[in-house]
Amino acid sequence: MTKAHMKLSPCATRLLPVTAVLMMLSAVAGAAVPGITGPTFNLTAQPSYINQPDGQQVYSWGYGCSGAPTGFLPGAIAAANCPSMQIPGPTLIVNEGDTVTVNLTNGLPAAAGNTSILFPGFVVTSPSGSGVAGLLTQEAAPSGTVTYTFTAGSPGTRSYYSGTQGDLQVEMGLYGVIVVLPLPKNVPAACTTGIHAQNQVAQQPSAAHAGTEADFRLSQSAYDHSGSCYDREYMFQFSEMDANIHRQALAQVTALTGCTAGAPGCALQVATEPYHPSYFLINGRSMPDDMDGNYAAEYPHQPYNGNPHMHPGEEVLMRIVGQGRWQHPFHEHGNHVRILGRDGNMVLSASTISYAGASGAEQALAGPLLFTTTTTPGMAMDGIFYFTGRGLNWDMYGHNPASTTDPNAKLPCTPDANGYNTGAPTAINYFEWCQDHNKPLQAAPFGDLPTGGPATLPDANIVANGAWYSGSPYLGQDATTRATGPTSSFQPANIQANPAGERGWAFMWHSHNEREITTNNVFPGGMFMMMLVDSREFVIDESK
């Protein structure tokens, strides 16, 4: 996206201009995939209000916990909680082969009638006498409870959502995700050895790292397959809201307060067409709220954030889910996303291949490389995002073998069989693309950089790179000094776009439907966030 796309409205209240969004990156935390553990889940459907960055509180319905859950994952995330209503609903985390039981209590207003949950992809049963018969599944009557039981089959990510009057209840917020993890014995050895083991070593205290990064993964592989190994993971649930529908629901619920469920006249008659969404959500929040921490106190009913973060060379598992009624074309700048599977089913070819570190040949991955992941309502995808800096045609660490002042400028780069510096996992430039080692960026460099140079950075008003992203085209603590010398063409106004001592790159990730990057028609907002790529000395803390 170029700066020519950035048109700001003077009508914004809490919404921020793009430069302010970059400035606030110093306060963001990682996202991870927070959720609750089973295999038994006691849920309730309740009304409440969710916060939007335009200052509005939107009346909504959501699933939540009826009492304390069995546990929370990842365990290292502080302040984890499961309120009685949240959007999206609690992420249900189970293991393949588990017998899963979900007890749902209907806490919605009496006029809302019955409610339920569908679990697509699973064979679901309800005990005799549990709930009342509905069109698609057993339902919980107002103040009643229904039980669902199923066996968690193959690993992967799947959605769950209301099967009762879906045009209203899903719109109001009754949806969530269930994650089925491979059994530890089924995690391929390739995912716990080799380069994936080195990536974990590289996150520990060393010359490159000032502190310890906890392992926030739910597993080491997305599926029982050596091609599904990963080093970090994040959840992205895309949905939209028509505020007019929510206002209608609140007005009718208020007018029918005290009515008896099932009595004549005690039923909502909310028109869900025409449909004009004004809020576009990632994990229940709009930008910039989606970049605040998980379980942040200011969003008591929107506990999950949507702010990915990585080091070069790490394979990032994206659990992508379409909720709501619209398709959402989400564009991940920086690289394609390699799709592993859809709705818990790996996309494989008939041919076989031996993956690095695997004990033998397996069916080859056949999922597409997507530059935009378009989510169909109810569909879930698992995919891998990968970034190393290969192909930039300049040394993104700004090395200079002739340096007399900066030891980090003289780090070596020894290519492995694939051309990367993977023999030194404790080095700042671990996973550097060695073909670009010692290549300066500018024809007339400054500071500690060598002279000459094969590349000149384009005007930042034309191509959104370098200063527009982070204040520097280089990774590393001394990147600011290298980018702001006397001949610098970079914009010093954006130098504080990252935390002190950190200089990474922020790739814009956003919907390619332009109205979906607004909040109530004000840009920037909606389905918009940043993928932060940091060099190894910056500790990514996903516990906040």
Give whole-number Cα distances, 336 to 217, 333, 339, 348, 493, in Å.
22, 8, 9, 18, 30
Question: What's the confidence (pLDDT) of residue 485?
Answer: 47
| Average pLDDT for the chain | 85
Distance CA 430, CA 437 (A): 12
| Cis status, amide bond into 74, omega within 30 of 0 | yes
Residues 6+ apart with CB under 8 A from 265: 256, 259
Residue for token pair 């609750």: 36
**Of residues 240, 238, 89, the one with CA closest to residue 178:** 89
Residue 483, SS3 per DSSP: helix
% of the chain at pLDDT higher than 70: 83
Question: What's the confidence (pLDDT) of residue 445?
Answer: 52
Instruction: Let me know how many helices (H) and strands (E) the chain has, helices first.
Output: 6, 25
Q: Tell me the mean pLDDT in the region 500-524.
A: 85
Question: What's the confidence (pLDDT) of residue 307?
Answer: 86
- The amino acid sitting at 80 is A
Quote the DSSP letter at residue 469.
H
Which has more pLDDT, 80 or 11?
80
Show the tokens assigned to 479: 């990147």
Q: Strand locations in 201-344, DSSP E? A: 232-241, 279-282, 309-310, 315-322, 328-332, 337-342
Q: Tell me the mean pLDDT in the region 400-413.
A: 80
Show the tokens assigned to 447: 């500071």
Distance CA 94, CA 113 (A): 30
Question: What's the confidence (pLDDT) of residue 403?
Answer: 74
Phi, psi of 117 (to 5 degrees): -135, 135
Question: What's the confidence (pLDDT) of residue 438?
Answer: 86
Reply yes or no on whether the pLDDT at 458 is more than 50.
Answer: no
Lowest mean pLDDT segment, chosen from 95-99, 376-380, 426-430 = 426-430
**Tens-place pLDDT, residues 120-163:** 999 999 999 999 999 999 999 999 999 999 999 999 999 999 99
Lowest mean pLDDT segment, chosen from 72-81, 258-267, 520-529 = 72-81
Reply yes or no on whether the pLDDT at 500 is more than 70.
Answer: no
Q: Tell me the mean pLDDT in the region 161-179.
A: 98
Q: Torsion angle, CA of 154/382/169/519, rounded to 10 degrees?
A: 170
Distance CA 501, CA 479 (A): 9
What confidence category does residue 399 fall into, taking pLDDT thresholds of 50, 70 and 90? confident
Q: Tell me the mean pLDDT in the region 279-287.
A: 96
What confidence category does residue 463 fall into, taking pLDDT thresholds of 50, 70 and 90? very low
Residue 184, SS3 per DSSP: helix
Q: Tell me the mean pLDDT in the region 212-237.
A: 94
Residues forming beta bridges with residue 99, ordered by sequence position: 151
Question: What's the confidence (pLDDT) of residue 471?
Answer: 57
Residues 6+ apart with CB under 8 A from 20: none
Residues forming beta bridges with residue 383, ordered by sequence position: 318, 339
Phi, psi of 273 (to 5 degrees): -135, 145
Reply yes or no on whether the pLDDT at 319 is more than 50.
Answer: yes
> 343, 121 in Cβ contact below 8 A?
yes
Question: What's the confidence (pLDDT) of residue 360?
Answer: 87
pTM of the model: 0.90
Q: Tell me the mean pLDDT in the region 103-130.
A: 96
Which has more pLDDT, 32 or 176?
176
Distance CA 351, CA 304 (A): 39
Q: Tell me the mean pLDDT in the region 413-419.
A: 95
What confidence category does residue 522 fall into, taking pLDDT thresholds of 50, 70 and 90? very high
> 375, 512 in Cβ contact below 8 A?
no
Reply yes or no on whether the pLDDT at 71 is more than 70.
Answer: yes
Question: What's the confidence (pLDDT) of residue 443?
Answer: 53
Question: What's the confidence (pLDDT) of residue 342?
Answer: 96
Which has more pLDDT, 304 or 479?
304
Question: What's the confidence (pLDDT) of residue 452?
Answer: 47
Residue for token pair 């005007």: 459
CA angle 253, 257, 263 (to 5 degrees): 95
Question: What's the confidence (pLDDT) of residue 96?
Answer: 96
Q: Torsion angle, CA of 333/339/341/347, rounded to 10 degrees?
A: 160
CA angle 186, 191, 196 (to 5 degrees): 165
Taking the domain 35-182, which CATH number applies? 2.60.40.420
Residue for token pair 């502080």: 78
